[in-house]
Amino acid sequence: MTEKLNPAEIDFLRSLSTSDLSVLLEKMPKDTQEAALASLMEGSSSNPLQEQMGVTREAKKREWDRRARLSIQDIAPLPPPPTNKTAELRAACDESLRVHLLTCYPNAFDMKFSSDHDRLLVGLEETIRNGGLKAIGMPRGSGKTTIIVRSALWAILSGLRKFCVIIAATDSFSTNLLNGIKTEVLSNDYLYTLYGPEIHALRSLEGESRRAAGQRFEGRRTHSRWLSGSIGFGFIPGVSTNGASIAAVGLTGNIRGQQITNPDGSVQRPDLVLGDDLQTKESAESPQQCEKRYEILMGDVLGMAGAQKRIAGVFSSTIIARGDMAARMLDRKRTPVMRGELCQMVRRWPDNTQIWEQEYRSMWEDELRREGDGSEASEFVKENFEEMHAGSEVGWEERFDGNEVSALQHAYNHKFRDETSFWAEYQNQPKNLASSIMYELIPEDLMGRMNNVQRLKVPAGCEKITTFIDVQNKLLFFMQ
């Protein structure tokens, strides 16, 4: 049986505030916690509830149970705001997206930014601060997704935006992006040191959405949210993220339903949208799907802010096929409002391309056939570095693998591995290879496409007849 506390210990517990009692109860072993609660519920002459209200023991137990639950759910007090040097660092992070990314997420950005990254960062920061739209096409694997996701956090934590929606090609892709934000909120101590009060309500949920319903600060509900498709930073007096939210959705998902009703009855609609690769490989190869996605972007997405309000938006993408949704969005003639910019893995090819296309390629492929790892080819690049790199310019000097010598060599290896995907996904300049492909016409395949309907006869139930005519110089080829 649990031993009860002595009168002095009971009086001490009753003298504590609700938040202090909550902290103390949480630190107690289970047996001691039960003893404390039992002793607090026990009647005594010094108990004002029994003397003044004459409540029964059962009613008093229920009251103490209720208070204990509320006490444990109360997340007061806030962590202290940064001071001295830390406060200066926080101010620098609020002032610059670049500083924020490098300071708060050092493990995510362990390579030097390229000038292409700088263009993306400038576009993001200017748009988040001042509004407008920006589209940037970057090579695959450039880290644009990592930047986009954490830029959403910067926009909210710095107080520049209240409701950011992250859009991806599908709902599942967007959920993955939001999960990255959740991980940073829960686990990133750099972030908590600088933005402790702002993320306190979310971090206190410890990743459990059910805790949000009962969470309180100094007795009042915080209204924080931790859902599969969105997070809400809650309402805490004096905190800049009051009412702020980040949501994630697929482009073909519930774009139109993005709004939140605040406790005071006001409706919060998105004021920032960040798009990351809004198409799949399958949709990029379908003109109909490309057109549909483009229409959703230009209509539903850009109208998310509501009447008489302009939404700020940045969209990063990689072109997969000629004329796909990304290409349309980045085309300044077709979509000038997006102010599209294209980045490429190789901006300018070297003066001597023959040494790469013939000597190096032959050596590299032959080494791979012999189960090599490309190190012999890399030695060749080292020995002829000046000649092989003269006149060239790459987008990201740091981008090459461990046994490679340079970013240009890395680009050529991609090109030799799969030239079609290289020109599309790394150069954002897909080649139209249809004219160079010879199709073998097989009689059986052609016969399989015929309907075997007798000429000049219309089948029963047929409502439409389609006719094709190929106009030639001296005759017409037709089919119906």
Using CA atoms of 179, 185, 187, 188 in order, give the dihedral in degrees to the nearest 10: 120
Distances from the Cα of 350 to the Cαs of 317, 365, 375, in angstroms?
27, 21, 21
Q: Is the alpha carbon torsion for 201, 202, 207, 211 positive or negative? A: positive
Cβ–Cβ < 8 Å for 151, 157: no
pLDDT tier at 452, thresholds 50, 70, 90: confident
Q: Which of 136, 154, 145 is nearest to 195 (CA)?
A: 154
pLDDT at position 73 is 83
Cβ–Cβ < 8 Å for 185, 224: no
In this model, does residue 257 exceed pLDDT 90? Answer: no
Q: Give CA–CA dist 346/105, Å, rounded.
A: 28
Q: Find the range with the poorest average confidence among 132-141, 218-227, 264-273, 302-311.
A: 302-311
Q: Which residue has the higher pLDDT, 24 or 323?
A: 323
Interstrand relation of 260-261 and 245-250 (parallel, antiparallel or unpaired): unpaired
Q: ω into residue 77 within 30 of 0, thus cis? A: yes
- What would the mean pLDDT of 37-41 be, rounded to a whole number? 69
Q: Write the pLDDT tens digit of every residue in 285-340.
A: 999 999 999 999 999 999 998 877 889 999 999 999 999 999 999 999 999 999 99
Q: Write the pLDDT tens digit of every residue in 157-210.
A: 999 999 999 999 999 999 999 999 999 999 999 999 999 999 999 999 999 999
Residue whose pair of structure tokens reads 């950005």 in the numeric block: 109
Cβ–Cβ < 8 Å for 271, 163: yes
pLDDT at position 36 is 74
Cβ–Cβ < 8 Å for 455, 464: no
User: How many other C-beta atoms are found inside a 10 Å radius of the C-beta of residue 458?
Assistant: 10
pLDDT tier at 57, thresholds 50, 70, 90: low
Q: Give CA–CA dist 391/386, Å, rounded.
A: 10
Distances from the Cα of 237 to the Cαs of 73, 218, 269, in angstroms?
17, 10, 22
pLDDT at position 469 is 82
Q: Write the pLDDT tens digit of every residue in 397-441.
A: 999 998 999 999 999 999 999 999 999 999 999 986 544 344 456
Distances from the Cα of 479 to the Cαs of 219, 292, 348, 443, 465, in angstroms?
79, 31, 49, 17, 11
Q: Which residue has the higher pLDDT, 461 or 316?
A: 316
- What would the mean pLDDT of 215-234 be, rounded to a whole number? 95
Question: How far is C-alpha 134 from the geometric centre of its chain's CA atoms?
Answer: 17
pLDDT tier at 243, thresholds 50, 70, 90: very high
Q: Please tell me whether residue 106 adopts helix, strand or coil conformation.
A: coil
Q: Write the pLDDT tens digit of every residue in 340-383.
A: 999 999 999 999 999 999 999 999 999 999 999 999 999 999 99
Q: Please tell me whether residue 248 adopts helix, strand or coil conformation.
A: strand
pTM as predicted:
0.76
pLDDT at position 71 is 55
In this model, does residue 54 exceed pLDDT 50? Answer: no
Q: Write the pLDDT tens digit of every residue in 63-110.
A: 555 555 555 689 999 999 899 999 999 999 999 999 999 999 999 999
pLDDT at position 434 is 47
Q: Give CA–CA dist 424/246, Å, rounded.
A: 32
Q: Write the pLDDT tens digit of every residue in 268-281.
A: 999 999 999 999 99
**Which amino acid would we find at residue 222?**
T
Query: 205: buried, middle or exposed (CB in 10 Å: 19+, 13-18, 0-12)?
Result: buried
Q: Give CA–CA dist 234/94, Å, rounded.
A: 20
